[in-house]
């Protein structure tokens, strides 16, 4: 069998795609790079907003046409698969294999089955399963928990991914050891709310460390860099900031979604913290990690958001001074409380506010990146950049960075870089030696090609 996988959505989905892909390989499948070469196409879906759902519909439309012309098995996994909305789409587009986020290990059974196979249960076996490490990659994801116990009124995730289940620390450390042995240098610990690790359904699990202590444990493994996402402000403790500060491998990067700067909106979102509490966490982070790089998620145009509420989001952005942000116009998702109880704002209002917020983010990212010019950063280079003669990577603070190639360095690994130019989305620098001297560059024809390098999305 030749299988092709398409992934939409978050880093958790990337991890799950890797997990299912490795299962497929263990059953003898060959992974191919395009739909044209494949006899099994599996789409890992996202249901958090309407746009990714529309994308899935459009890809499935194309696949259904192909299926009419040649033998093709169509599969759909992930959040959308778990919803009635996704199941209707699956029926319409003749999907053969449907796997919800809790049934990924049913992929083998699904392939053995000669008929349509739908797996929609949340199965415990998934939490003990350790996928093989990624091959030839310096970065890896590591899921430390699945599901979510919060009930933010706009969010479909608790429905699609079920309640929170923390993985046992032994499984996490075993998976990490395998990643280390495979050459991984940067691991990102994943969960919808990593700060609640070890406290499932409100109950502290015996034998599980707190998230802060898990960071300390992972920090002792020998891994060079540790990142984590996502943090929910309600469960953020000062001890997490302290653990970050005292564990050298933990990068000084915190992604702390705020969603809104207005207490009225935060209440309607059921976020369970106030603007003031959020800012208190930011102050604690800065107390322990003065050079912390801060990122956030913001939803604009939540039902009932007034111009004054939105201005509070803008003022909070200025008060924190984020390095980067994921910004979304509110998308009413069937099955969420806000869809049921609140009236959606007009699209033009949401688009206009999103445009203003993006302008603010660009301004802050430009200022923040410019402040790094002249500094020395530790950059994890991944390999060739879009422009010939350049390498790309990212800093401990997740800033995409591009450097000219130097003699003797192929690109993979952590290197010291002096930053000499910055845009809102990219930093440019030179590789330097232990004395701070520029390493000799590989001669190239068009040095100005640096300006053509593709903007790399922040991880």
- 10 labeled binding residue: yes
Contacts of 221 (CB under 8 A, 6+ apart): 173, 176, 177, 180
Instruction: Indicate which of ligand SF4, ligand SAM, none lies near residue 8 (CB less than 5 to 8 Å, by partner kind).
Output: none
- By CB under 6 A, is residue 232 in contact with ligand SF4? yes
- By CB under 6 A, is residue 299 in contact with ligand SF4? no
Which of residues 17, 192, 365, 401 is near ligand SF4 by CB under 6 A? Answer: 192
Instruction: Indicate which of ligand SAM, ligand SF4, none lies near residue 158 (CB less than 5 to 8 Å, by partner kind).
Output: ligand SF4
Which of residues 160, 235, 259, 324 is near ligand SAM by CB under 6 A? Answer: 259
Distance of alpha carbon 308 from alpha carbon 343, whole angstroms = 18
From start to end of 38-78, where are the E strands? 40-45, 73-78
Cβ closer to ligand SF4: 91 or 151? 151
The Cβ of residue 413 has, within 10 Å, a number of other Cβ atoms equal to 15
Strand partners, 2: 30
Residue in 322, 329, 155 with CA at minimum distance from that of residue 314: 322
Which two structure tokens, joined as six digits, stand for 158?
Answer: 């608790």
Instruction: List, in sequence order, the alpha helices (H) in 252-380.
Output: 263-269, 275-288, 307-320, 337-341, 347-370
- 251 labeled binding residue: no
Distance of alpha carbon 365 from alpha carbon 320, whole angstroms = 12
First to last CA, the chain: 32
* Size, binding site for ligand SF4 by CB under 6 A: 10
Taking the complex as a whole, how short is the minimal distance between the CB of residue 41 and ligand SAM, in angstroms?
24
DSSP H/E element including 16: helix 11-26
Stretch that binds ligand SF4, among 70-78, 154-162, 172-180, 320-328 (CB under 6 A): 154-162
Q: Tokens 């960075």 — which residue?
A: 401
Contacts of 340 (CB under 8 A, 6+ apart): none
- By CB under 6 A, is residue 160 in contact with ligand SF4? no
Taking the complex as a whole, how short is the minimal distance between the CB of residue 405 and ligand SAM, in angstroms?
36
- By CB under 6 A, is residue 281 in contact with ligand SAM? no
Residues 36-55 contacting ligand SAM, CB under 6 A: 48-49
- 155 labeled binding residue: yes
- By CB under 6 A, is residue 257 in contact with ligand SAM? yes
Which of residues 331, 387, 395, 398 is near ligand SAM by CB under 6 A? Answer: 331
Which of residues 101, 158, 191, 261 is near ligand SF4 by CB under 6 A? Answer: 158
The CA–CA distances, whole Å, from 241 to 69, 134, 219, 273 equal 57, 29, 14, 18
Positions touching ligand SAM (CB under 6 A) are 10, 48-49, 154-155, 157, 192-193, 230, 232, 257, 259, 297, 299, 328, 330-331, 333
- Chain contacts with ligand SF4 (rule: CB under 6 A): 148, 150-152, 155, 157-158, 192-193, 232
Q: Which residues does the annotation place in the binding site for [4Fe-4S] cluster?
A: 10, 46, 79, 148, 152, 155
């Amino acid at each position: 069998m030749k299988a092709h996988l398409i992934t939409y959505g978050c880093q958790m989905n990337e991890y799950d795609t890797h997990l299912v892909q490795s299962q497929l390989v263990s059953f003898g499948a060959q992974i191919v790079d395009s739909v044209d070469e494949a006899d099994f196409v599996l789409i890992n879906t996202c249901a958090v907003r309407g746009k990714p759902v529309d994308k899935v519909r459009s890809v499935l439309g194309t696949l259904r046409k192909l299926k009419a012309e040649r033998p093709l098995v169509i599969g759909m996994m992930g959040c959308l698969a778990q919803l009635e909305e996704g199941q209707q789409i699956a029926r319409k587009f003749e999907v053969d294999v449907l796997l919800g986020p809790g049934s990924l290990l049913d992929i083998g059974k699904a392939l053995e089955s000669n008929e349509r196979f739908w797996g929609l249960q949340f199965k415990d076996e998934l939490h003990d399963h350790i996928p093989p490490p990624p091959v030839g990659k310096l970065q890896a994801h590591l899921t430390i928990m699945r599901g979510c116990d919060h009930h933010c009124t706009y969010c479909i995730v608790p429905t699609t991914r079920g309640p929170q289940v923390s993985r046992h620390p032994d499984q996490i450390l075993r998976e990490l050891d395998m990643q280390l042995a495979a050459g991984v240098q940067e691991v990102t610990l994943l969960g919808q709310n990593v700060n609640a690790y070890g406290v499932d359904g409100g109950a502290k699990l015996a034998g599980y460390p707190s998230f802060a202590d898990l960071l300390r444990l992972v920090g002792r493994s020998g891994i060079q860099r540790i990142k984590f996402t996502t943090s929910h402000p309600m469960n953020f403790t000062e001890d997490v900031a302290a653990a970050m500060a005292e564990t050298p491998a933990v990068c000084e990067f915190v992604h702390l979604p705020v969603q809104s700067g207005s207490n009225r909106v935060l209440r309607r979102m059921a976020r369970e913290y106030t603007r003031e509490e959020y800012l208190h966490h930011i102050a604690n982070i800065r107390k322990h990690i003065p050079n912390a790089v801060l990122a956030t998620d913001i939803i604009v145009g939540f039902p009932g958001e007034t111009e004054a509420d939105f201005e509070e989001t803008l003022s909070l952005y200025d008060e924190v001074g984020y390095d980067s942000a994921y910004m979304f116009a509110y998308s009413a998702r069937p099955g969420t409380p806000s869809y049921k109880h609140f009236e959606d704002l007009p699209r033009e209002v949401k688009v206009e506010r999103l445009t203003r917020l993006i302008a603010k983010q660009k301004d802050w990212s430009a200022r923040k990146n410019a402040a790094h010019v002249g500094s020395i950063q530790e950059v994890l280079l991944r390999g060739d950049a879009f422009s010939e003669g350049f390498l790309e990577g990212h800093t401990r603070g997740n800033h995409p960075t591009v450097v000219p190639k130097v003699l003797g360095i192929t690109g993979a690994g952590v290197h010291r870089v002096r930053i000499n130019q910055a845009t809102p989305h990219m930093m440019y620098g030179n590789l330097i030696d232990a004395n701070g001297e520029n390493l000799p560059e590989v001669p190239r024809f068009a040095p100005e090609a640096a300006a053509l390098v593709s903007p790399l999305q922040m991880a």
